Amino acid sequence: MRKTSFLFALLVMHGAAMAQAGFGESHVQHSLAADINSAGLVAGEIRNENGQRRAVVYRDGRVTHLGTLGGTDSYTSAINTAGTVTGGALDGSNRWRAFRWQAGAGMRDLGTLGGGSSLGIAINQAGTIAGYADVEDGNFHAFVHDGEKMTDLGTLGGRSSYATGINNRGMVVGAAQLENGYRRAFVWTASNGMRDLGTLGGRVSAATAINDSGMVAGASETADHKWHAFLHDGTKMIDLGAMIAKGQSYATGINAAGDVVGTIRFRDNAPLTFVYKDGRMRIHPNRNALYETGKITDDGKVVGAHYTGHRYQALSVPSTVDLAYKAKPSDYMLVTLLVLMLGWCLRKGYVHWRHGVLGKPAIY
C-alpha cells in the first residue's frame, strides 16, 4: 500500500506542476482577473461564499484589498501602467459609484452625472477614466473623467449610452441608443463627438475596446440575428465571427498590434476563447483555458478566469496556443509511473489468482 500511495502522490505532483491560478483565495472563494499592466500588476476581484465582491490588485503572491466607498462590495475594471485602478464600489447608501484608486491615496468617488450611481470601466495611461453614470431623468450616459470633472458624452439620439474603452489619444468607445431605441457601437472624440460605427447587417452593435491606432473591437448582430465579433479598422467593420464555424462570438479586447480576443458561446457548451492575430483566427482548446475572457495585453497575455467545476479562479494565458501537444520531461516520468503501477497491479493480480487456485488465502 505504501508503494501505491507513493505512486499516487507523484501523479498528483505532476498535475500540480501546471500553471497556478487565482489570487491565493480560499477554496470557497472565487476570483477574476479584469486587467494586467506592463509591470505585472493584476487588477481583479475576490468573491466570498456569500457573493460579496472585493476589489484587489495582485502581484507575486501578494494581494492588496482596495476597500469600498462605505458599502460592502467593490470590483475592478481596468488598471494603467502607473497602477491607477478604476471600477465600481458601493457607498454607504448602497449605490454603485465609479472610483479611482491609487496606492497611497486610496479610493476616490468620481461622482455621477446628476443621478445616483456610476461605474468606471476603462482607463488610459494619462489616468483618464471612461464609464457610465446616471443622469437626472433616471437614464445613464457614457462619461469621461479627466481627474477633475466628469463629462457627459451624450447619446446617438436615444436615452442611454455607456463607455467601455478609451485609448491614449482620448478616443472613447461603447454603445449608445438611437432614437428608435436600438443601440449602436460608437467612437467618440472631443473634436467630433459621437459617431455611429454601424452593424454587420443587424439592428444592434456594441464596441468594447479601442487601441491607439483607433482600431475598435466589439460585437454586432448580423442580418440573420446572430451575434458576431467585429474589428473596425477606422473605415469599415470586419466580420470576425464569419471566421468561426459555430456559435455566437463577442470581442472583448484589442491590443496595440490589433490582435483581438473574445469569447465564443455555442448552446450549453463551455465558452471558448478566440484570438484574431495576423489575419488568422485561433480558437483555444478548453483544456486549462479561460471560461471568462477579458482583455489582451500588448505582450500577448489574455486575462480572465477559468472554471474548475465549482468555482472561478483568476487566470492569464498566452494568446498564441500551439494546438500540437508537445511532450514535457514530466510527461515521460508520468508514463514511467503508469507502467510501474500497471506492472505492480498485474503482479498482485497474478498472486491473487495463483493463491485462489491453490486454495490459499487471497490476500495482499
Q: If DSSP codes are grouped into helix, strand and coil, which group holds residue 146?
A: coil
Contact 339, 332 (CB under 8 A): no
- For residue 20, what pLDDT is reported? 56
The rounded distance, in Å, linking the Cα atoms of 298 and 255 is 5
What is the secondary structure of 149-168 as a DSSP string? Answer: -EEE---BEEEEEEEEEE-T
Copy the grid coordinates of residue 80. 494603467
Is-contact 153 188, C-beta < 8 A? yes
Q: How far is CA 226 from the centre of its chain?
A: 22
Secondary-structure breakdown of the chain: helix, strand, coil percentages, each rounded to the nearest 5: 15, 50, 40
| HSE-up (13 A, CA, CB side) for residue 302 | 30
Main-chain phi, psi angles of 218, to 5 degrees: 180, -155
In 3-state terms, what secondary structure has residue 283?
Answer: strand
pLDDT at 130: 98
User: Residue 289 phi/psi, 5° resolution?
Assistant: -110, 180
> What's the mean pLDDT in 108-130?
98
Dist. CA 107–CA 289, nearest whole Å: 33
State the sign of the Cα–Cα–Cα–Cα dihedral 114, 116, 121, 127.
Answer: positive
Closest to 230 in 3D by CA, of 245, 249, 211, 214: 249
Whether the pLDDT of residue 57 is over 80: the answer is: yes
Task: Please tell me the distance from the alpha carbon of residue 72 to that of residue 29, in angstroms, as a whole number.
Answer: 16
pLDDT at 333: 72
- Summarize the confidence of residues 245-274 as an average pLDDT: 92
Contact 140, 183 (CB under 8 A): no
Which has more confidence, 23 or 54?
Answer: 54
Q: Which helix (H) or strand (E) holds 71?
A: strand 70-79
Cα–Cα distance, 270 to 263 (Å, whole number):
10
Counting every residue written for the chain, the total comes to 364
- For residue 316, CA distances in Å to 10, 120, 321 come to 26, 22, 13
**Is the pLDDT assigned to residue 327 strictly greater than 80?**
no
Query: Which CATH class, in words, describes the domain spanning 2-330?
Result: mainly beta
Per-residue pLDDT band at 337 (split at 50, 70, 90): confident
pLDDT in tens, 269-320: 788 899 999 999 998 876 656 778 889 999 888 888 777 777 767 676 776 6
If you average pLDDT over every residue of the chain, what do you get?
A: 86
Quick check: 100 and 121 in contact, CB under 8 A? no
pLDDT at 7: 38
Give the tens place of pLDDT for each residue, 162-185.
999 999 999 999 999 999 999 999
**Residue 272 CA, distance from chain mean position:** 12
State how far the Cα of 45 lies from the Cα of 56, in Å rounded to an integer.
5
Mean pLDDT, to the nearest integer, of 9-25?
Answer: 52
Q: Is the pLDDT of residue 358 over 50?
A: no
Is residue 30 within 8 A of residue 312, CB to CB? The reply is yes
* Cα 299 to Cα 168, 208, 245, distances in angstroms: 17, 19, 28
Tell which residue, 281, 141, 65, has the closest CA to residue 273: 281
Domain ranges of the chain: 2-330, 331-364
> How does residue 79 score in pLDDT terms, banded at 50, 70 and 90?
very high
Give the pLDDT confidence score for residue 8 in this predicted structure: 39
Sheet holding 312-318, edge to edge: 292-296, 301-307, 312-318
Cell of 234: 477606422
Average pLDDT over residues 324-328: 47
236-250 residue pLDDT tens: 999 999 999 999 999
Give pLDDT, residue 347. 73
Residue 193, CA atoms < 13 Å, CB-side half-sphere: 6
